[in-house]
């Protein structure tokens, strides 16, 4: 069945019947943007954890020369961590070849909590087109999209970005069925999606980040298709698919076709 179900907040998963369909996670401000940027700049893998305490304990078991504590609480870098959650921090010089232990307020608890053990694809505006390409084959049998939201509540930017992805998939899949949340998000993108930065600036989370001094993160997070990487979470590790014949990172064949999964 060609169907997309969108869950606008993680709490909605408590009432969801998740099946074998691919699961996509969106957190525009800023985790999914930052993770894609880190992979583009050579991070070996990223391990999402639910809490700061889990991150610290895991870090003690890894080589301190090749692992970094990364993340934030309420937008600010955690004391003692090497990196926060601004994509501008994740330069090649800092992350190339490193294992990143990642603890954020909204996204990593979702990845490592209610969705633990399930394969997940992460997207935001910066990798929209490559993710659409990666999941378009699987979309014919259905997709589940989950917004990280903000502190358990709906976030405008995540819902709008989900709508951008749904609209692009709908254009290539006539007869696609969607739930009400997906239809709302798709229609919002159709009406307002021509300026993602305006959406981010008008959002509650965007305004909060500006107050914290992270205004320069907003245009980075709004730059559509600027980071052509598909972060794929499998067995607790986030990596980018690699083309075996060349070793180059690629967006292709992230999700098996419906036929291959049978």
pTM of the model: 0.92
**pLDDT for the residue 172:** 82
| 235-262 pLDDT tens trace | 999 999 863 333 344 443 455 444 444 3
Q: How far apart are CA 34 and CA 29, in angstroms?
A: 9
- Residue of 223, 159, 214, 169 whose CA lies nearest to 192: 159
Residues 6+ apart with CB under 8 A from 206: 29, 157, 199, 200, 218
User: Distance between terminal CA atoms of the chain?
Assistant: 14
| 192-206 pLDDT tens trace | 999 999 999 999 999
Q: Which domains does the chain have, with CATH numbers?
A: 3-261 (3.90.1560.10)
Phi, psi of 169, deg, nearest 5: -70, -40
Mean pLDDT within 105-133: 97
Q: How far apart are CA 9 and CA 41, in angstroms?
A: 30
Mean pLDDT within 144-166: 97
User: Is 80 exceeded by the pLDDT of residue 56?
Assistant: yes
pLDDT class of 21 with cuts at 50, 70, 90: confident
- Range from 3-12, 100-109, 131-140 carrying the lowest mean pLDDT: 131-140
Mean pLDDT over the full length of the chain: 91
Mean pLDDT within 1-6: 86
User: Is 90 exceeded by the pLDDT of residue 17?
Assistant: no
């Amino acid at each position: 069945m060609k169907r997309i179900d969108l869950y606008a907040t993680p709490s909605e998963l408590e009432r969801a019947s998740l099946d074998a369909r691919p699961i996509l996670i969106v957190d525009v401000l800023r985790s999914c943007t930052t993770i894609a940027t880190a992979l583009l700049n050579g991070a070996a893998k990223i391990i999402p954890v639910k809490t700061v305490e889990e991150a610290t304990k895991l870090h003690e078991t890894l080589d301190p020369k090749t692992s970094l504590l990364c993340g934030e609480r309420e937008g600010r870098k955690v004391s003692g961590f090497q990196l926060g959650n601004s994509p501008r921090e994740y330069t090649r010089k800092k992350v190339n070849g490193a294992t990143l232990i990642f603890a954020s307020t909204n996204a990593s608890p979702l990845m490592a909590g209610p969705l633990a053990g399930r394969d997940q694809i992460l997207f935001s505006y910066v990798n929209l087109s490559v993710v659409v390409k990666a999941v378009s084959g699987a979309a014919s049998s259905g997709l589940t999209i989950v917004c990280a939201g903000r502190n358990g509540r709906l976030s405008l930017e995540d819902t709008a970005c989900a709508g951008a992805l749904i609209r692009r998939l709908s254009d290539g899949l006539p007869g696609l069925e969607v739930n009400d949340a997906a239809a709302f998000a798709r229609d919002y993108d159709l009406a307002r999606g021509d300026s993602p930065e305006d959406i981010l600036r008008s959002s509650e989370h965007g305004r909060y980040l500006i107050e914290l001094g992270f205004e320069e993160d907003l245009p980075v997070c709004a730059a559509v298709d600027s980071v052509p990487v598909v972060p794929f979470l499998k067995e607790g590790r986030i990596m980018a698919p690699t083309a075996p014949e060349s070793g180059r990172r690629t967006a292709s064949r992230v999700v098996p076709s419906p036929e291959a999964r049978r």
